[in-house]
Chain A
Amino acid sequence: QKEVEQDPGPLSVPEGAIVSLNCTYSNSAFQYFMWYRQYSRKGPELLMYTYSSGNKEDGRFTAQVDKSSKYISLFIRDSQPSDSATYLCASEGGDDKIIFGKGTRLHILP
């Protein structure tokens, strides 16, 4: 079992819909959780960085971590075509090494 599991998609939703992206992880030592957005042929861009369980909101983006179920979520409200990208979840256990999921390809349909 990979340490961070993520459905690769693709996930297609109509413009304006709420997008829900999810990951699970297996290592209970993970404390820090991140979501990155990656456009084609570009480096990943950090969207959200959270510590332990709870919610964090930034504009249209909300990151949610449930450590009891080892579940990580990213919600995008009022989705727009420019949100179309690959979204990578990641976790860090305090040893500096970041473990990435495979990434979910998201398509927002105009």
Chain B
Amino acid sequence: GAVVSQHPSRVICKSGTSVKIECRSLDFQATTMFWYRQFPKQSLMLMATSNEGSKATYEQGVEKDKFLINHASLTLSTLTVTSAHPEDSSFYICSAKEGRNTEAFFGQGTRLTVV
């Protein structure tokens, strides 16, 4: 299957700082990328959908000023957690699709710990 690379795989940051997570599609052009959050033993919670060159669409209850998403190219999307707090500690996962009605491939996930 197609490869989606997510970086970093693990990050620890101090409360109040910002953290950027990158998601890259390595062998296809991702017109749509998704960002998810996953708590232990829970399913994936969709945070936002981003299409290349346009603003991300956030799910209800997700603060767009806190979770900044940029999808500047067909192979790269970034999620920036701004002014991180301990409650933002979670597993963040991106996925990417080449177009509508195609498979979505996931990155390896990023474990964020805010101390």
Assuming the A-B contacts A41-B109, A44-B44, are A98 and B104 also in contact, with contact meaning beta carbons closer than 8 angstroms in the complex? yes
User: Does any Cβ of B come within 8 Å of A45's Cβ?
Assistant: yes
Of residues 44 through 92 on chain A, the ones whose CB sits less than 8 Å from some CB of chain B are 44-46, 49, 51, 88, 92
Total residues of chain A contacting the partner, CB 8 A: 23
Contact residues in B for A34 (Cβ distance below 8 Å): 103-104
Q: Are A102 and B43 in contact (CB under 8 A)?
A: yes
Which among B49, B91, B107, B109 is the interface contact of A96 at CB below 8 angstroms? B49
Contact call A32/B101, Cβ cutoff below 8 A: yes
Contact with A along B94-115 (1 / 0, CB 8 A): 0101001101111111010000
Quick check: is B67 within 8 A (CB to CB) of the other chain? Answer: no
A43 touches B100 (CB 8 A): no
Interface residues on B, range: 20 to 34
Cα(A44)–Cα(B109), bound, Å: 9
Q: Considering the chains assembled together, what is the distance between the CA atoms of A69 and B69 in angstroms?
A: 38
Beta-carbon contact of B43 and A43 below 8 Å: no
CB B56 to nearest CB in A, in angstroms, measures 13
With a cutoff of 8 Å between Cβ atoms, the chain A residues found around residue B25 in the complex are none
Is there a chain A Cβ closer than 8 Å to B74's Cβ?
no
CB-contacts of A14-52 with B (<8 A): 31-32, 34, 36, 41-46, 49, 51
Tell me which of A44, A51, A102, A103 has the highest count of chain B C-beta atoms within 10 A of its own C-beta: A44
Binding site for A on B (CB under 8 A): 1, 4, 6, 32, 34, 41-44, 46, 49, 91, 93, 95, 97, 100-101, 103-109, 111
A sample of 10 cross-chain residue pairs with beta-carbon separation below 8 angstroms, ordered by A number, consists of A31-B101, A34-B104, A42-B109, A43-B108, A44-B44, A45-B106, A88-B43, A88-B44, A98-B34, A100-B43
Residues of A within 8 A of B (CB): 31-32, 34, 36, 41-46, 49, 51, 88, 92, 94, 96-98, 100-103, 105
Closest 4 A-B residue pairs measured CB to CB? Answer: A43-B106, A102-B43, A43-B109, A44-B106
